[in-house]
Structures are given as C-alpha cells and as structure tokens.
Amino acid sequence: MSGLVASGSRTAGAATALAVTAVLGLAAMTSLMPGLLHEDCADSSAVPSKHASSTIPSDYLELYRQAGAAYRVPWTVLAAIGAIESDHGRSSAPGVRSGVNAFGCCAGPMQFNLTNGPPSTWQTYRVDGDHDGGFSPYDPADAIHSAGRYLRMLLDGARGDLARAVYGYNHSHAYVTDVLQRVRQYADTPDDALAAVPPVGCAGGDGDTPANLREAVRVRSPRAYAMLPAWAMAGGRAAQPIDARLLDNALWLLRTYRLRVTAAREGGHRTHGDGTALDLVPAEPVDQEAWDNSVGALARDLGWTPACGATGTSPICPLVPAMQFVGYDSYPGHGSPKTCHAPACAAHLHLSWASPCYGTSAPAAPCAWVNAFGRRRDRG
C-alpha cells in the first residue's frame, strides 16, 4: 500500500526483476483460483508452516488467523502483507510505530494510507480489532482486522482473483509476486494457502448486495466494530462505529432509503452501547413528505405500523425477524416532525437489530451474535 520495504524483504529492484522472470509462474498460480473457490462461505483453514511459526511473532500469527477467519480471507495473505510492510511490526522504519512513512502517507504495521480521501483508506476500513473502543493504525489488532476487512472488499471487487486483489492493496506487480510467494511459504500445504478465498458476497461492507428483510441470519463473527463512512453521517457529525456484522446491512439501508445516521455506537444512549442500533433521518429532511418517503417507508417495510407505534416491538408490531425494536411515530421521543416536535423531541427513526445484548447503554464489547438481514440474490 505504501512501498515501505520492511527489514528482511527484497529490494524494489530485485523484486522487479523477480516479477519479470516469474510472470509465467504467477499466471499459473492465479489461473488455478476459480477451481479453488469454496462453494460456501468458509474460513481460511491453511495450517501454519514451520516457516510461518518460526518467522512470524506468535501474537501476530494469531491476529492474522483471527482476522482471516473473521473476514473470510486467507490469513496467509494478511501475513505476507504484514511481512512486506513492516516485518510484522518489528521494522524501525518511519510510520510503523508512529507518524507516517517516508512517502508521507501511510502508517502502522499494515501501512494504511492516512492522507488520501477524504475519507482516507484508514477512515473507510478501520476496525476496532481488540474492542477497546479506539481505532489506531499502529495497534496490531486494529490494523490487521482492518486489513482483513479491506482485503475482503478487494477480493469481492476482483471476483475472487487474488492477484488482482493484492494489486489493489499496492499497485505493483512486483509486490503481488512477493506476496503470493510468501503466501505459499506460510501454509503447511502450499495449495491450501490459495484455496480458501470465499466467493463474492460472503462478507463485505459495501452495502451493494440487496438485503432480504424477510429473512434473518444469526452472525457470530467478526466480533468487532467498524466505522461508518463519513458520508453516512447526518449534518457533518463525526463518524461513529457500528457492529461490523451489521455494517453491510446499514449501508444498504442508507443507500436504498436515502438516509443518514445521527447516532450509532455511543455511550450513555440506551441500546446504542453495543453497536447494534442506529438513529436515522432522511438524507434531505426538507418536509414531511421527505420523511414519509424515506424513514417512514423503511419503518413500514420493517413491520412498524401506526397502530403498534407506542411499543415498537414484537409481537404487537409484526417486525421482520432481524429487528428487535423500531421506534417511530407514536413512540415517546421518536418519530417524524408531525409527531416529534423540536426542541422537546429530536425527530428520528430508531432501529435495533436483535441480539442478546439489547438495551446496552454503556460502551461494551460486541455481543456474541446478532441477527442480520438475509441476502437477496438474483436467480438465473
């Protein structure tokens, strides 16, 4: 991502020469990819080789494997990137532990770009990997989980083509060659290193896959927080995190119903402490019609009706299975401008996805599971 050469990695000139001589080998490796894709969303299962266990610090190896399983990407690819970018956090180069690299852009053990955008690559894909409430590119857990999320997006965009995905991480063919060679070194059975790339749509965070509101899927991983993008927030509010397992749901809702977020995970706000709730307003809240056509339409599609509005919960409200609470017109302190009058009431729609942690106000670690919307797919 940055061009940083970690200690122990090849020089740029040698890597470039290697890339020229290894074109046929690289083509052969990537040509096998379609036949190696799993039919279902499965975790990466490559067993670490002796080389991996002896050259990767144990805490980093565990983080690579955790992030690989959480985002369904090959942990070996994350490890290869971490080796090249920072020697698994051991490099003393500028930008690894503080500041930015010599190119003035990238930081941390996975060398996320902090200066492009806005939002920057780090702002877009950052994840609270250790659940401490913070987001730091220098924190190995945050950086590696964020890289896992970023790689998942790149793989989805490349339709499972691993070489293209790695090229998206760092636009260098020599870099791709270096990564894929390290990948094979890190797996006990080299072919396993490239076998666990799940199909497009198994995980993500781009909100492009249509949701099936009538189905719910219980999701247990990744138990982490991810930042909403800056565009998702209303009125210039600072970006807030959401449970990473609900990010794709949230982005799809925002785009489909033209909504913006006024509150996501925040302390002292009932049901918002565990990142499974959103407060929403129209993207253009110009009049009551705009409310009716955006947040009002979503509330109705989720099972809210005026008759059950005073409770907002099942079974009085026929809520869709992923929802635990929908607060809108008739619920105290919630609703559109026609029922929620400023300054005593700030108009908004409240959504809470179903989870065993419902009601949490204080900032908390992600819950054991959440119910997310199913995915609607075209049938040919």
**Same domain flag for 178 and 246:** no
Q: Are residues 220 and 324 in the same domain?
A: yes
Question: Structure tokens of 203?
Answer: 């995980």
Which residue in the block uniquely carries the two structure tokens 């959480």? Answer: 70
Residue 4 lies in a domain: no
Residue 196 has pLDDT above 50, yes or no: no
As a whole number of angstroms, the distance between CA 86 and CA 150 comes to 17
Taking the C-alpha atoms of residue 90 and residue 82, their distance in angstroms, rounded to an integer, is 10
**Domain C-terminal end among 193, 220, 238:** 193
Whether 221 and 86 map to the same domain: the answer is no
Give me the residues paired with residue 335 across strands.
348
pLDDT of 313 strictly over 80: yes
Shared domain for 172 and 131, answered yes or no, is: yes
Who's near 363: CB < 8 A, 6+ residues apart? 133, 265, 266, 267, 273
Check residue 375 and report its DSSP letter.
Answer: E
Question: Which residue, of 193, 226, 241, is where some domain finishes?
Answer: 193
Same domain, 220 and 178: no
For residue 99, the one-letter residue type is G
The alpha carbons of the chain give a radius of gyration, in whole angstroms, of 22
Residue 137 located in a structural domain? yes
**Residue 222, preceding peptide bond in cis (omega within 30° of 0):** yes
pLDDT band at 229 (very low <50, low <70, confident <90, very high): confident
Angle at 184 between CA 205 and CA 39, to 5 degrees: 45
Q: Are residues 153 and 107 in the same domain?
A: yes
User: Sorting pLDDT into bands at 50, 70 and 90, what band is 286?
Assistant: confident
| C-alpha–C-alpha distance, residues 295 and 25, integer Å | 53
Report if residue 300 sits inside a domain: yes
Please say if the pLDDT value at position 201 is more than 60: no
Tell me, yes or no, whether 185 and 254 share the same domain. no
Residue 378: pLDDT over 50:
no
Let me know: does 7 contact 84? Beta carbons within 8 Å.
no
Output the pLDDT for position 56.
98
CA 178 to CA 25: how far, in whole Å?
12
Is 1 a domain residue?
no
Q: Both 92 and 219 in a single domain?
A: no
Whole-number Å distance between alpha carbons of 307 and 371: 25
Q: In total, how many domains does the chain have?
A: 2
Instruction: Give the number of other CB atoms < 10 A from CB of residue 155.
Output: 28
CA 187 to chain CA centroid, nearest Å:
25
Residue 220 is assigned to a structural domain of this protein: yes
**21 and 121 within one domain:** yes
Residue 332 lies in a domain: yes
> Is the pTM value of this prediction over 0.85?
no
Q: Sorting pLDDT into bands at 50, 70 and 90, what band is 236?
A: confident
**CATH number for the domain harbouring residue 162:** 1.10.530.10
If asked whether residues 139 and 255 sit together in one domain, one would say no
Residue ending a domain, among 193, 223, 241, is 193
201 in any annotated domain: no
Q: Which two tokens stand for residue 177?
A: 């060659």
Is 30 strand, coil or helix?
helix
Answer whether residue 72 is part of any domain: yes
Q: Which of 280, 234, 276 is nearest to 361 (CA)?
A: 276
**Is the pLDDT reported for residue 200 higher than 70?**
no
Q: State yes or no: cis peptide before 356, omega within 30 of 0.
A: no
Residues 240 and 367 both lie in one domain = yes
* Statement: residue 202 has pLDDT above 60: no
Are 162 and 222 part of one and the same domain? no
Written as six digits, the tokens of 38 are 């799993």
Say if residue 197's pLDDT is above 90: no
List the domain range (segments joined by +) for residue 316: 211-375
